[in-house]
Amino acid sequence: FAPVLASQAVRAKPNRGPMRHYVALRAGRPHLDASGVLGHPLLGALLQEVLGPGYVLDQLASDTPLRGSGYQPVHSDIPRAVDFGRAGRVDPWLLAVNFPLVDVGDANGPMELMPGSQCLPE
C-alpha cells in the first residue's frame, strides 16, 4: 500500500482534511484479490450474514490519516435509509467495512464512532 499512498500524496493534496488522503484502490492489487482480503472467509461470512448471499462489492478505498491529521467533521460514510425517506425498521442494505492501512492512533487521525448512529428512531 505504501507505493500507492506515496503516488497519491505526490499527485494530489490531502483530500479529507490536513494530512489525510482518500485513495481509491483497484481489486487485484496485493491483498485485494480472492486470495487476500476480498476472499477472506471471515469477511465473506460477515457480509453474507448482514447483507445476504447476493451482496455486491462496489468500492475499494482507503481513508488514510498520516501524522498530523486531525478529526474529520461528523459525517456518514454511506447513505442512510432515512436519507431516502425510509422510516422505521429497515434491513441493512449497504455496509462500509474499513481496514486501517497504517497504524492509527492519537498522533495521526484518531477515529470517533457514534454508537447507535446506524439505528433509525422508532
H or E element at residue 63: strand 61-65
Residue 52: give the domain boundaries: 1-122
Question: Which residue matches cell numbers 425510509?
Answer: 86
pLDDT of the residue at 61: 80
Domain count, the chain: 1
Q: Is the pLDDT of residue 42 over 70?
A: yes
Q: What is the pLDDT of residues 50-89, one digit of tens each?
A: 888 888 777 778 888 888 887 777 777 777 666 777 666 6
Q: Residue 2 is placed in which grid cell?
A: 505504501
Handedness of CA 105, 106, 112, 115 (dihedral sign): positive
pTM above 0.75, yes or no: no
